[in-house]
Amino acid sequence: MSRPQRSHVTSPATARQIARERAVTAANYHPLPVVLAAGAGEWLTDIEGRRYLDLMSAYSAVSHGHAHPRLVRALTDQASRLATASRAFHAQALAPFLEKLVGLAGLGEGSKALPANGGAESVETAIKAARRWGYRVKGIAAGHAEIVVARHNFHGRTTTIVGFSSDDDYRADFGPFTPGFRHFDFGDINSLAAAITDRTCAVLIEPIQGEAGIIVPPAGFLAAARRLCDERNVLLILDEIQSGLGRTGRMFAFEHEGIRPDGLILGKALGGGLLPVSCFIARREVIDQFDAGSHGSTFGGNPLAAAVGLAALQVIEDEGLIARSATLGAHLLARLRSIESPLIRDVRGRGLWVGVELDTTRVRAGTVVEHLLVQGVLTKDTRDRVIRFAPPLVIERAALDWGIDTFAQVLARLQSQNQPGPVLRRAPAETLV
Ligand SMILES: *Cc1c(COP(=O)(O)O)cnc(C)c1O
């Protein structure tokens, strides 16, 4: 492992590139001041040749690491044969991919998949499926189906999905919104029970809330939600776009509680870090509500995506990435918990997916992230409170340890600068462009 050089000096080339990008890019993101040019495994390189350890994996889309050779080969092989055909025709690559995926999900005899591209598209698929099931199977009065969602959920950015977000940044002035959603407090089974009515067709949740700050519900919550949904004749639909495919130390996070959902939404890592590939998989009775013309996507399930998706699933198995996530994840959690810093309020997570919540009266998470960047470690805070640790599952143990050491050092330095003093907001100006 060759370590990144430990300086991040202001550079005209980097500043120029950032200005160019800003001039032509909508301001809907606030990127850290680094301009990436290449990646391999858990390492990224910027345009100046500086190396960084990736502790975020593009929100879990890069669980396989950057430019995984086998995935790049699957991509280029398929691209040179047939990349896009549309679902107007059958294509050779689709069945093997979905056979594998539906088999892994294990949602029962006759369960099937509907492929799409970005994750939000498959959340939309799930919403449509749940509503049709509600009207056609459960017998909810036309136009009255409701879906119960958690407060502080994150399911994507379409107008329907942001309509049931509890985050004002996501919603402000984007209305009017799609009706038919009710909220409950994540992790609170009584709150969930109270939100379900005779009109409820589905409960849609993340098994662990990602963007909310890596919120792990109390043990038994998912199993209790499963029982409740069975009792009330309501579908349980899990959004495992971020938690799925090994991230939590199991193939799917629902396995931790020995349950099966009625519908499962996958994305992010399903594209092997190379392409947007997402999918909604459901039990027969749910997925069979779709008939010809009821839903579609021009690129959804294209041969290129199918070939890469299949290879992505095979790599997870062949390289033992799930066991790796469990083992290295336990190590990560234990090491982060052992850091003694008054700046830390909580450390939580599962597998290679850990959030460190900071005391924001003393330091902002954004500040820590900027200092980490300077030291050659890339991650991103969520909600300016929580630092996320979600490295590629292929990460070497030594690299992970170096990342943790660097984090501990950054916290120690910030703490010594911060006594008593005001809240630290930025990395030293000279270190950032
Ligand atoms: C990222 C994410 C989405 C949205 O996926 P996109 O590919 O950005 O549309 C939905 N749900 C969860 C849990 C996510 O983490």
pLDDT digits (tens, 9 = 90+) for 37-92: 999 999 999 999 999 999 999 999 999 999 999 999 999 999 999 999 999 999 99
Domain end, chosen from 318, 340, 355, is at 318
Residue 377 forms part of a structural domain = yes
Are 52 and 144 contained in the same domain? no
Is pLDDT above 50 for 329? Answer: yes
359-370 confidence digits (pLDDT tens): 999 999 999 999
Q: Any idea what the CATH number is for the domain that residue 163 is in?
A: 3.40.640.10
pLDDT band of residue 296 (cuts 50, 70, 90) is: very high
Whether the CB of 206 sits within 6 Å of ligand 1? yes
Domain end, chosen from 302, 318, 334, is at 318
The mean predicted confidence, pLDDT, of the chain is 94
Are 43 and 115 contained in the same domain? no
Per cent of the chain over pLDDT 90 is 93
Mean pLDDT of 225-253: 98
| Nearest ligand 1 atom to alpha carbon 120 | 9
Report the half-sphere exposure of 13 (CA within 13 A, side-chain side).
10
Q: Active site includes 381?
A: no
Q: Any idea what the CATH number is for the domain that residue 331 is in?
A: 3.90.1150.10
Are 374 and 424 contained in the same domain? yes
Are 160 and 190 contained in the same domain? yes
Are 77 and 192 contained in the same domain? yes
Are 154 and 264 contained in the same domain? yes
| Ligand 1: residue whose CA is nearest its atom 6 | 119
Are 305 and 425 contained in the same domain? no
Q: Active site includes 239?
A: yes
pLDDT band of residue 287 (cuts 50, 70, 90) is: very high
Q: Domain range holding 85?
A: 69-318
pLDDT band of residue 424 (cuts 50, 70, 90) is: very low
Residue 268 forms part of a structural domain = yes
Cα separation, 79 vs 391, in Å, equals: 28
Are 21 and 108 contained in the same domain? no
Alpha-carbon dihedral sign for residues 192, 193, 194, 196: positive
Is pLDDT above 90 for 177? Answer: yes
pLDDT band of residue 418 (cuts 50, 70, 90) is: low
Residue 1 forms part of a structural domain = no
CB atoms within 10 A of CB 1: 11
333-357 confidence digits (pLDDT tens): 999 999 999 999 999 999 999 999 9
Per cent of the chain over pLDDT 70 is 94
Whether the CB of 303 sits within 6 Å of ligand 1? no
Spatial contact of 213 and 242, defined as CB atoms under 8 Å apart: no
142-168 burial, b at 16+ Cβ within 10 Å, e below that, comes to eeebbbbbbbbbbbbebebbbbbbeee
Question: For the chain, what is the domain count?
Answer: 2
369-397 confidence digits (pLDDT tens): 999 999 999 999 998 899 999 999 999 99
Residue 200, H or E segment? strand 200-205
Are 203 and 216 contained in the same domain? yes
Whether the CB of 102 sits within 6 Å of ligand 1? no
What are the residues whose beta carbons fall under 8 Å from the beta carbon of 313, sequence distance 6 or more?
97, 100, 101, 104, 245, 270
What are the residues whose beta carbons fall under 8 Å from the beta carbon of 118, sequence distance 6 or more?
156, 267, 276, 278
Is pLDDT above 80 for 433? Answer: no
Residue 220 forms part of a structural domain = yes
Are 163 and 75 contained in the same domain? yes
Mean pLDDT of 12-18: 94
Q: Active site includes 154?
A: yes
pLDDT band of residue 430 (cuts 50, 70, 90) is: very low
| Nearest ligand 1 atom to alpha carbon 242 | 15
Whether the CB of 52 sits within 6 Å of ligand 1? no
Is pLDDT above 90 for 7? Answer: no
Are 79 and 18 contained in the same domain? no
Residue 173 forms part of a structural domain = yes
Domain end, chosen from 318, 340, 356, is at 318
Residue 376 forms part of a structural domain = yes
Residue 150 forms part of a structural domain = yes
Enter the pTM of the model: 0.95
129-169 confidence digits (pLDDT tens): 999 999 999 999 999 999 999 999 999 999 999 999 999 99
| Nearest ligand 1 atom to alpha carbon 211 | 15
pLDDT score recorded for residue 10 = 63
Residue 412 forms part of a structural domain = yes
Are 107 and 26 contained in the same domain? no
Asked if residue 176 has a cis previous peptide bond (ω within 30° of 0), the answer is: yes
Mean pLDDT of 291-310: 97
